[in-house]
């Protein structure tokens, strides 16, 4: 795993719907965390010299990055509803 990012979905109005996604350290007082989105960027262990990574990786409010090297990568994400939370 080359990179791991997490953003939390918060409910600030009490209607049990996500109002915005924030970084884990930026949850306002009184907001309920009701979901989490997780991104993993996974890189191959070995270089593939027949391949140059042309992709631009732009996710989770990161600055877009284009490695341009010989490693294959994949980004996977999942949003998880946190069902047993308490405000």
Q: What confidence tens digit (pLDDT) does each residue in 8-67 have?
A: 999 999 898 999 999 999 999 999 999 999 999 999 999 999 999 999 999 998 888 899
38 touches 61 (CB < 8 A):
no
Q: pTM score, two decimals?
A: 0.84
What pLDDT sits at residue 84?
74
In angstroms and rounded to an integer, the radius of gyration of the C-alpha atoms of the chain is 17
54 touches 38 (CB < 8 A):
no
Q: What confidence tens digit (pLDDT) does each residue in 38-51 have?
A: 999 999 999 999 99
d(CA 87, CA 74): 35
Average model confidence (pLDDT) for the chain? 92
């Amino acid at each position: 795993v080359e990179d791991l990012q997490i953003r939390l979905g918060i409910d600030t109005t009490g209607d049990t719907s996500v109002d915005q996604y924030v970084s884990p350290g930026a949850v306002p007082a009184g907001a309920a965390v009701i979901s989490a989105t997780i991104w993993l960027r996974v890189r191959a262990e070995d270089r593939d010299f027949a391949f140059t990574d042309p992709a631009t990786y732009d996710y989770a409010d990161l600055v877009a990055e284009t490695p341009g090297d010989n490693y294959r990568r994949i980004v996977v994400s999942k949003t998880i509803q946190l069902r047993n939370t308490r405000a």
